[in-house]
């Protein structure tokens, strides 16, 4: 590709050198540079790409995109000076892959909790209508039946546009992606042509990165700020944060929830271990929903998904709800594992105070008679420390017994992690500490009885533990199934 083609619509203040040259590829990691590549000097939280310009040139970079004019200029290297290298990276990536998002119908889902579940529900609904879908998110990248691993909930712009071009080439028409607050703040989703965006909720999380809840909210809001006027914004009206999300959007807004202000109001819900029944009322029209999904929060997730698909495809809701028996949640989201002793293990990704409380409440509502709820959870190391005591309070609220254990301790001292969590417990003797996560799960299974529910929270679909700097294989479900009850 010619450089002058690559920089089409790129905002830059100065070009030093020729733009009438052919470039090979784009990189923001100097170690991946090959001859003829473009190097984008991105400032990160730990490293600054500007410190690696000389290294990138030595590896063969012919173009450097940076925010500051280097003191050393090379005669055979073109330098392009921009205000924001991250935003430039997004523009260049979209241009390099010929703006694949313009050829797709794209749904972006943001929120603290529920993103993964909603992406899978929308994919199921679209699939039932005969559409091919791709999912990009926490559990991986799904291109139809093909699954690729993902290192981030929302990939970097180069990886993102590469995947989207592959989606187009495979003849897949719809992409449903999780859009994280980190990605929005770091411009990873810039120049993606979203046709519809969904807000699930916003609660305490990622304050180690965003520092304040207000900054976290503003990051989420960027998804809706950038929507085109023909797009739809589907929001959970029961979360007060929705008002911030849509305050500056040009998109058409649809409010969903129990609140009377909803355009699609949820009512008359019934829940048990087989699933849920409820009604969605749109004006004078009532839609009667029956699905195998457990938990009240999944009623909201399903409602958001139904409204989204209805708007996205321009079809009546009745065409979607006649049979929802095929609907399943995402891997590791309220996943039921029946045990031979008559108890039930439920594996869930809940790793925030709000998610853990909602999961605990949902499980408690399924308890019959004198049966008990046992909750196994932990808090990650080297991550948001302010939420740890709130996690304890959330677990204690509904559980008869709590087992506190590891959840990716990383390089942080485990005793310090547990001490932070313990500050949130208020009932003496209500919890037990078993550091080894496998032993904690096994102990919970062994002490369970018929009718009990064991909520194993925090890791969900993950098949690893990060201990120190090592990632070792670990899967909650595998451990549950290995125990002889």
The DSSP annotation for 155-206 comes to --HHHHHHHHHHHHHTT--EEEEE--HHHHHTTTTTT---SEEEE----S--
Mean pLDDT is lowest, of 1-15, 198-212, 327-341, for 198-212
**Does residue 445 register a pLDDT over 80?**
yes
Per-residue model confidence as pLDDT tens digits over 375-404: 999 999 999 899 999 999 999 999 999 999
CATH, range 335-482: 3.90.190.20
* pTM, entire model: 0.86
Q: What is the pLDDT of residue 209?
A: 56
CA 141 to chain centre: 12
Give just the sign of the alpha carbon dihedral 326, 330, 331, 332: negative
User: What average pLDDT is seen over the chain?
Assistant: 94
**Does residue 17 register a pLDDT over 90?**
yes
Residue range 100-321 in CATH 3.40.1190.10: yes
Q: Indicate if 100-321 has the same CATH topology as 3-90.
A: no
CATH number, domain 3-90, options 3.40.1390.10, 3.40.50.300, 1.20.1530.20, 3.90.700.10: 3.40.1390.10
Indicate the domain borders of the chain: 3-90, 100-321, 335-482
What dihedral angle (degrees, nearest 10) is formed by the CA atoms of 26, 31, 34, 39?
A: 30
Tokens standing for residue 59:
């590896």
Per-residue model confidence as pLDDT tens digits over 467-481: 999 999 999 999 999
Q: Is 399 in contact with 360 (CB distance < 8 Å)?
A: yes
CB count, 10 Å around CB of 385? 17
188: left (phi over 0), alpha (psi -120 to 50) or beta: alpha
Burial class (CB in 10 A: 0-12, 13-18, 19+), 124: middle
315: left (phi over 0), alpha (psi -120 to 50) or beta: beta
Q: What share of the chain is helix, strand, coil (3-state, %, to 5)?
A: 35, 25, 45
Q: What is the pLDDT of residue 435?
A: 97
Nearest 5°: the CA angle 16, 22, 25 is 95
The DSSP annotation for 317-331 comes to THHHHS--TT----T
Over pLDDT 90: what percentage of the chain?
Answer: 84
The model's confidence at residue 354, banded by pLDDT at 50, 70 and 90, is: confident
Distance CA 129, CA 8 (A): 38
Tokens standing for residue 107:
């749904």
Q: What is the pLDDT of residue 274?
A: 80
């Amino acid at each position: 590709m010619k450089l002058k083609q690559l920089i089409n619509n790129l905002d830059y203040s100065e070009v030093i050198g020729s733009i009438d040259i052919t470039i090979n590829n784009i990189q923001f990691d100097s170690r991946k540079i090959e001859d003829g590549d473009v190097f984008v000097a991105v400032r990160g939280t730990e490293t600054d790409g500007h410190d690696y310009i000389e290294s990138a040139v030595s590896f063969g970079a012919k173009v450097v995109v940076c925010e500051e004019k280097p003191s050393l200029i090379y005669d055979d290297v073109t330098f392009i000076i921009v205000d924001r290298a991250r935003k430039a990276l997004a523009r260049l990536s979209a241009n390099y892959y010929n703006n694949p998002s313009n050829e797709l119908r794209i749904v972006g889902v943001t929120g603290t909790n529920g993103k993964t579940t909603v992406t899978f529900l929308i994919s199921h609904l679209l699939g039932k209508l005969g559409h091919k879908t791709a999912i990009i998110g926490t559990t991986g990248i799904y291109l139809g039946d093909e699954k690729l691993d993902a290192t981030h909930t929302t990939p970097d712009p180069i990886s993102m546009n590469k995947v989207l071009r592959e989606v187009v080439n495979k003849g897949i028409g719809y992409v449903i992606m999780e859009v994280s607050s980190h990605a929005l703040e770091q411009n990873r989703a810039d120049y993606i042509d979203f046709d519809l965006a969904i807000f699930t909720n916003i609660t305490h999380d990622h304050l180690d990165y965003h520092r304040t809840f207000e900054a976290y909210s503003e990051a989420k809001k960027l998804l809706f700020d950038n929507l085109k006027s023909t797009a739809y914004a589907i929001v959970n009206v029961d979360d007060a944060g929705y008002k911030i999300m849509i305050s500056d959007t040009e998109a058409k807004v649809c409010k969903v929830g129990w609140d009377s202000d909803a355009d699609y109001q949820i009512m008359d819900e019934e829940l048990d271990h087989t699933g849920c029944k409820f009604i969605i009322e749109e004006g004078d029209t009532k839609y009667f929903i029956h699905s195998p999904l457990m938990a009240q929060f999944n009623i909201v997730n399903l409602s958001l998904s139904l409204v989204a698909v209805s708007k996205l495809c321009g079809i009546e809701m009745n065409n979607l709800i006649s049979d929802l028996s095929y609907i399943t949640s995402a891997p590791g989201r309220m996943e039921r594992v029946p045990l031979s002793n008559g108890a039930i293990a439920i594996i869930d990704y809940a790793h925030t105070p709000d998610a853990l409380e909602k999961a605990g409440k949902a499980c408690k509502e399924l308890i019959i008679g004198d049966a008990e709820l046992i909750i196994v959870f932990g808090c990650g190391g080297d991550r948001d420390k302010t939420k740890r005591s709130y996690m304890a309070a959330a677990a204690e609220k509904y559980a008869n017994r709590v087992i506190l254990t590891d959840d990716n301790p990383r390089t942080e001292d485990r005793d310090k992690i547990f001490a932070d969590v313990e500050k949130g417990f208020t009932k003496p003797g209500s919890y037990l500490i078993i550091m080894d996560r496998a032993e904690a799960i096994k102990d919970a299974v062994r002490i369970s009885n018929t009718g009990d529910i064991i909520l194993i929270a925090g890791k969900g679909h993950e098949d690893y533990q990060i201990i120190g700097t090592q990632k070792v294989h670990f899967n909650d479900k595998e451990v549950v199934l290995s125990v002889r009850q």
